[in-house]
Amino acid sequence: MQGVRLRPSEIGAWTVLVCSICCTAGALGSKGPLTFGGSGGTSAFQGRCRQFGVFGGHCLCFKQSVTECFEFAQAWLPLASVEYESANHFCYLYHLSAKAPLDCPQDCAAEIGLETVQFYAGDLSSGFMCMASIANTKRTIQSGRCRELDGDASGGQLYKDGGGMFASDCFARAEERLTTAAGQYRSSTGSCGIKVLWQEKPSEVLQGWVAAEGTADVSFYVGNGEADYVCMSSWGSSQRVVQQGLCRQDGIYGGFCLSESVLTVARCFLDAQMWSPAVAAQFWNVDACALLIASKDAPAQCPNGYAPRTGNGDVEIYAGNGDAKSFCMTSWV
């Protein structure tokens, strides 16, 4: 599978594109948010850490839990992402270069990668968790086309087809525009879409770009998991991560407060931010909202209109599991 086109000069500079935003402190106990190498934030995603199916060199370590793995990874300064495989307790410390690292921590094995990469995103594989970091915590990269709740909704955009554009060029052009809500890059063609939140096509046209109308007004963008695309968003709101899917950690979820009369995803996520015990919020089935905690036990008290429910296990970190009609928000503290 083709990887993102990379200029040689960008190998060291493009850690700025690795997905990130602060991980919720409540999900990790009293230790607070994890950070990688002073980057200022992290974000957990379900799946292996990949860039269109490929990955860079890495250190292979053994750790008993995902929290132990992610905390251990912080001491390794070349780190671009860390992946935990729960079945075998493998902890992979990735850097961007395809070469095997020369300075792996003690008791870890250095292994070569498939390609030099620009960024990492979770590929939604079950049994794995990917956490990545950047120096600028206002960006999130997720696999797939940029879409909203129903899987198809997308606002207007400026679009440039083909021409071998680099991912760095696409995202840089997206950030130049104050109205930009997301940047979408397609690897196989080098095409780029600069998206807005409203359905109408953007009024200002860039030379060589086409202005196109969207399918609907949207409130946010996430990657829909489709191969060959990546979606970069969230630089206007550095304290929230919205991912497609139910809030889970390897199928496990903690206790929660449930309402089946919340009519919008925005209302659900706002309720979560107003209720301090919540470490994640899940919206699904058109009107169902769950405010989740890390413990399996049902919350002792819920906001008005919500009822306490018991989870199926204790959770360390929540991430969206890719379910098509659900959305999970974390990391607003």
Enumerate long-range contacts of 222-225, CB under 8 Å, 24 or more apart: 222/142, 222/144, 222/146, 222/147, 222/148, 222/320, 222/327, 223/121, 223/141, 223/142, 223/143, 223/144, 223/145, 223/146, 223/147, 224/144, 224/145, 224/146, 224/147, 224/151, 225/124, 225/143, 225/144, 225/322
When the pLDDT of each residue in the chain is averaged and rounded to a whole number, the result is 78
Q: Is residue 196 predicted with pLDDT exceeding 60?
A: yes
Q: Would you place residue 287 in the very low, low, confident or very high pLDDT band (cuts 50, 70, 90)?
A: confident
Q: Which of 52-56, 176-180, 199-203, 294-298 has the highest mean pLDDT?
A: 294-298
Q: Which residue has the tokens 């429910």?
A: 309
Higher pLDDT, 143 or 302: 302
pLDDT band at 331 (very low <50, low <70, confident <90, very high): low
Domain residue extents for the chain: 8-139, 149-232, 241-326
Q: What's the CA gap between 318 and 330, in Å, rounded?
A: 7
C-alpha distance from residue 131 to each of 160, 165, 200, 331 (Å): 31, 27, 35, 13
* pLDDT at residue 107, rounded to an integer: 92
From 38-47, 62-71, 92-101, 175-184, the region with the lowest mean pLDDT: 38-47
